[in-house]
A and B are shown apart, each in its own frame.
Chain A
Amino acid sequence: MARESFDKEIELLRLLVLTGGVFSRKESAERLGISVHTLDKALRRLREAASAAGADGSPGEDGELGLGRLLQARRERGGDPLLLFLFRSRSLKESETARLALLQGELGKGGRTAAELLDACCGGWPEASPWPDEKTIRSDLAYLEKAGIVAREGGRPVRYRLRDELWTALEPEELRRLELFVHAMAHTRVPSVHGFLLQDSLRRLLGRDGALSAGVGFAYRYDCRILDEAYLHPLLAAIEERRTASFEYLTPKSEHRYAARGTNPLHARTSPARQIAMLPLKAVYDHQYGRWYALGFTRAHGLSAWRMEGMSGLAIGGAADPELFARKREQLDARLRTSWLVDLGETTRVSVRFFRPEGAEYDFVRERVLLQGQWGETTEEGPDSFRYDIEVNGTREIRPWLRSFGSSCEVLEPEELRQDMIEEWKELAETYGAAVRQGAQS
């Protein structure tokens, strides 16, 4: 059976979250490069999953897609891992759901043999359906064991038990603290989907009022990051096993996807999705934008980075030459050491002067430089300023961060970056100068 793919759903959710879901069905389908029919199918699946997960909103007030505002509202309530329901949407046949639920429910009462489970299963089975046979039960148990949900106990015949030791070993208060801990870690660490799933289970155990995380939120987080984890884990496994990978890649800079097709007819000609076959070497998470990258090697392009949001149809291929893998990985690690994000180009020295805020009791500039400045070094200069020096690949990736400090930052070198910064501030002064003048006149 073909593996159930969620590529379309992932792309659709990303579009909804990033744009607030204001596009129509037709526009959305165009932006995703799919037919309206395919979009409707994906939407239906997502709506089912979202409503099964208790995310039902008031569809009457929603846009045409019926999900955008619902997701935004969920986000604002906080606490709730916004896009998690996607990872719960793997489809199951009704009979399999019933069987697995019965089996695990029975195992939750204590250790059981396969024969005992078969009896119990038949006892709790709806009369109209055919009874599951022993072979089916054994294959279910093999699956549950492989997933780590049940374990075998010694003895003859073999007994199975539900692996619920995490809950049974803890006192109720400890369990509540564990849920809060998992909540905090899932929101601040990557990867996090497994953490959110675990938290969901803990919440079920604790009940509606038992969970401590109800009023605990994380301001300014990036929700889309959990969507890309769908590709992260297969890629990490491929790297671990030194395998190649292939996928369709639609560069996020393409005029398709979020940009309207037809704004520039030139772009409609070039079908942008490219088939990429590469040797994956590393995955990178960029905290600055909340985005994931796959880094790898191709003969045509050497070492490169692909944004996971642009990938679809990921397939893991055959084993790669281990010697090639080792060599390329070593090269990549050496280059990556001085990447602000994923720029693998030439290393430049960037020197900057940061100014202490005037009249503030607390030096929030220094605080932020120390928090976010990565491996750069600071040197004292005097009462009003300090220096920050960093060896970094190119200046393109560090530039927005430096600019975000406004007039608290002066670029000293390289000269080119200094000049660029001046030009950009001039442009901004002009843009906003005009806006402010206009505002004053009106």
Chain B
Amino acid sequence: MELLFDKAHNHELSRRMAEAGAVAVTGRERAWLKLMLEHPAAEGFLGAAARAKLAELLAEEPPLPLGHLDEKARSRERRLYSPLLPELAAIIAGRSGMRLAYSAKGGGELRHAEGYPYRLDYAMSTKQWYLLWHRSQGRPLMRTRLTHAHGVEERPLPPGEADRLDAAIARLTARSQEEVELELLPRYNRELSRILYALSCFRQEVRFDAAEGVYRIALRYPRDERGFLLQKLRFLGKRVRVADGAASAALQEQMRASAVKALARYGIRLEAVAEAKAEVEAGEAEAGADAEA
């Protein structure tokens, strides 16, 4: 029954072996890899030759017994591999600069820019790869969908430049972070675990106010990804409420506008006077919420 907590994985043992230049791989890890090689992205990542070599080496491994496992609410997945991925990953790992050919989000002409790539992010929500980079000229922090990147050339940086850029990026990203506090309505306290799971993709801190019996969940997120938070807030509905605070006003207004507009879909007009205004705002809020740069 030792299927995961194998002594072969003991940390001290792995460390000593690595020192001796040896690495142990268990049969189960090979079985896992064998299964992964069947994924259509495998050939992109590995190249046809290496994939074939690995498949041959693993041919004799018994398969991982996953016939009894179902996945629910799984998104369809596209583009787990992108041809620029290994090249960009190598530039980032080597802390080099680049010259990138890319197009704007609505399509349009090809642009070229010099910059420093610092992260590749796969958004689990939209199943898209994004390149995060620091542009030498113009707005510095860029987030470009990989399908909009058309080519990259490595440009070595002068010594010390990567350190300077990393520090600048850390300053800029810290400034674009927002923090918001959510309150769990006490009548839903029993659902705390489910709600924390749903929000566990954010950085969160939970506090319990014993006097009021209220759970308060503080979340941190990058400002330009507020849309994803709004989507989650609509997902949870009336169970949580955005508490009052510095960054909350905009979120509260967007939630209100969204609710008013949703009611209008059902022919229910709240605050008939404010409605026309709300409709415009809700349209903007939701467009901002879901559209990815």
Contact = CB atoms under 8 A, between A and B. Distances in A.
B80 A188 contact: yes
Given A107-B22, A422-B263, A212 B50 contact: no
B89 A213 contact: yes
B206 A18 contact: yes
Contact of A197 (B9, B12, B74, B253): B9
B241 A431 contact: yes
A72 B204 CA distance: 9
Given A218-B121, A367-B126, 13 more contacts: A148-B25, A164-B22, A166-B25, A178-B46, A182-B36, A184-B45, A191-B66, A216-B121, A289-B198, A316-B1, A362-B106, A405-B234, A432-B259
B197 A290 contact: yes
Interface in B9-60: 9-18, 20-33, 36, 39, 41-42, 45-47, 49-50, 53-54, 57
B10 A92 contact: yes
Contacts of B171: none
Given A4-B5, A404-B231, A431-B238, A18 B200 contact: yes
B201 interface: yes
Given A368-B290, A407-B258, A429 B270 contact: yes
A75 B203 contact: yes
A319 interface: no
Contact of B11 (A89, A167, A372): A89
Interface stretch (A33-41, A129-137, A152-160, A230-238): A230-238
Given A97-B13, A229-B4, A360-B287, A222 B197 contact: yes
8 contacts: A166-B30, A216-B89, A229-B4, A236-B65, A252-B194, A400-B235, A410-B265, A433-B271
Interface string B124-152: 11110000000000000000000000000
A129 to B, nearest CB: 15
B273 interface: no
Interface residues of B, number: 138
B6 A147 contact: yes
Given A148-B30, A204-B14, A364-B290, A18 B196 contact: yes
B68 A285 contact: no
B69 A190 contact: yes
A149 B8 contact: yes
A176 to B, nearest CB: 8
Contacts of B67: 240
Contacts of A219: 121-125, 201
Contacts of B32: 191, 194-195, 198
Contacts of A336: 70
Contact of A181 (B46, B74, B120): B46
A190 B261 CA distance: 38
B98 interface: no
Contacts of A189: 36, 39
A209 B100 CA distance: 23
Nearest to B190: A253
Contacts of A169: 53-54, 57
Given A289-B194, A359-B283, A220 B124 contact: yes
B252 A435 contact: yes
A291 interface: yes
Most buried by B among A105, A147, A191, A254: A147
Contacts of B20: 101, 104-105, 108
Nearest to A230: B4
B10 A91 contact: yes
Contacts of B74: 287, 374
A277 interface: no
Contacts of B45: 177-178, 180-181, 184
A432 B69 contact: no
A214 interface: yes
B92 to A, nearest CB: 4
A188 B13 CA distance: 28
Contacts of B64: 191, 194
Given A17-B200, A288-B73, A97 B123 contact: no
B241 A181 contact: no
Nearest to A150: B24
A181 B282 CA distance: 41
A400 B197 CA distance: 14
A19 B127 CA distance: 27
Contact of A424 (B2, B207, B238): B238
What 9 A-B pairs are tightest by C-beta distance, nearest first? Answer: A148-B27, A108-B22, A20-B205, A105-B20, A215-B92, A432-B256, A181-B45, A407-B261, A233-B3
A142 interface: no
Contacts of B235: 400-401, 403-404
A378 to B, nearest CB: 13
A163 interface: yes
A181 to B, nearest CB: 4
B124 A164 contact: no
Contact of B73 (A23, A148, A177, A287): A287
Contacts of B237: 400, 403, 424, 428
B252 A52 contact: no
B232 interface: yes
Contact of B70 (A78, A178, A187, A284): A284
B55 to A, nearest CB: 11
Interface in A6-38: 6, 17-23
Interface string A318-343: 00000000000000000010011110
Most buried by B among A193, A212, A361, A425: A425
B24 A85 contact: no
B262 A406 contact: yes
Nearest to A163: B25
Contacts of B53: 169-170, 174
B157 interface: no
A112 interface: no
B71 A429 contact: no
Nearest to A226: B4
Contacts of A209: 93-94
A74 B149 CA distance: 29
